[in-house]
Amino acid sequence: MAFWRSKKSAADTAAAPATGPANTPVNDPESATSVPSDSPPPAPEPESAPANPEPAEKPKGGGVFSKITGGLQKTRRVLGTDIRDLFKSAGRLVDDEFLDELFARLIRTDMGTKPANLIRDEVAKKYRGRVVELEEVIQTITEEIRSQLRQDDGDLAKAKSGPTVILVVGVNGSGKTTSIGKLSHYLRAARYSLVLGAGDTFRAAAVEQLTIWSERIGCEIVKGNKGVDPASIAYQTVEKALEIKADYAIIDTAGRLQTQKNLMQELQKIRRVIEKKIPGAPHEVLLVLDATAGQNAISQAKGFSEAAGCTGIVLAKLDGSAKGGVVLPIRDQFQLPVKFVGLGEGMQDMAAFDPDSFADALLKG
């Protein structure tokens, strides 16, 4: 499974510097950058780190559709069963009662009222007053979901020259640090070099977790002592990426709620520090949302998109949720492309988001 339409050429691969597992601690973070340190907020609850992350290896068979189909199993079970329950006999008359029942079942997946209304209206436009079969309704719903999810900018950004800097944000427990590990795995499998930045300096578990990922994947990591100014970690990470001519620099940030003003200001500060080192960076700001959060993910997206300038979404834990429909209101309200979806516990269990595959897997499987 490929994340990008084109991979590096053999010549580019040969030219890329070989990177192995290495730690680059920030011994004196305050001297690393002229940006002053803020007083650290209270440490949030730790996000559990995997005891034994899987070593980097290329994804095994099945392709995008099979991965997304597996990840959407719980959502498909709820939605598919509910819609099938509308058809007690061979066919069903599409009237107001049927349309209201359909709407109620759609919103159970947390897709929100607007997307559900659009689907209901499309079914009504095509079939009102007719007796229809289940397969006809399923096909119409799938086509409407596919239309709502269509996006033109779903590819991961790549800088024209020098390292591509990716800032990753999200609340604690969303799967943010694990998503960084999975993304790093795919980049390394595609023969890209990278540097990780352990910018969640207020959670020792996050630093430890990212260190484990770096060792297993085989890439450099920049980290500092607990409570170190995260902006200095970001600065050092970009500096290291420039030094070794890495293709990517991926920077973790402290898990925060979208209502924590001081922490959101910290994100803005990190962005300024990065841009001082590489104009135009960060090239991507990925917001990791927990699919199990359902509609609460909407408020998270709003707060982060305003403060951090998010460019894309990683929908994590999709395999553990029956609320996969939340992708629809996120796309509608914020016009943020969904870049990746997390589909399991293993490092290979992440897929580039494909609207057509998602729509098909949501109902058909």
Q: Which residues are annotated as a binding site?
A: 170-177, 252-256
Over the stretch 129-141, which tens digit does the pLDDT of each residue have?
999 999 999 999 9
Rounded CA-CA distance 252/42 in Å is: 18
Q: Please, which pLDDT band fits residue 16 given cuts at 50, 70 and 90?
A: very low
Burial environment of residue 55 by CB neighbours within 10 A (0 to 12, 13 to 18, 19 or more): exposed
Is 60 exceeded by the pLDDT of residue 224? yes
In this predicted structure, what is the pLDDT of residue 66?
Answer: 67
Domain ranges of the chain: 10-36+47-61+152-363
Is 70 exceeded by the pLDDT of residue 291? yes
In this predicted structure, what is the pLDDT of residue 212?
Answer: 95
The mean per-residue pLDDT over the stretch 154-174 comes to 91
DSSP letter for each residue of 238-261: HHHHHHHT-SEEEEE-----TT-H
Which is it for the CA torsion 55, 56, 61, 62, positive or negative?
positive
Rounded CA-CA distance 26/236 in Å is: 7
Structure tokens belonging to residue 88: 């007690």
* Of 90, 82, 163, the residue nearest 132 (C-alpha): 90
What mean pLDDT, rounded, does the chain reach? 79
The mean per-residue pLDDT over the stretch 179-184 comes to 94
Over the stretch 213-222, which tens digit does the pLDDT of each residue have?
999 999 999 9
So what CATH class is 10-36+47-61+152-363?
alpha beta
Interacting residues of 170 by C-beta distance below 8 A, sequence separation 6+: 176, 255, 287, 288, 289, 300, 304
In this predicted structure, what is the pLDDT of residue 273?
Answer: 95
Q: Which residues are annotated as a binding site for GTP?
A: 170-177, 252-256
Interacting residues of 292 by C-beta distance below 8 A, sequence separation 6+: 317, 320, 321, 323
**Which amino acid, residue 220?**
E
The mean per-residue pLDDT over the stretch 35-62 comes to 39
**Which amino acid, residue 315?**
L
Over the stretch 33-44, which tens digit does the pLDDT of each residue have?
433 333 344 443
The mean per-residue pLDDT over the stretch 88-95 comes to 87
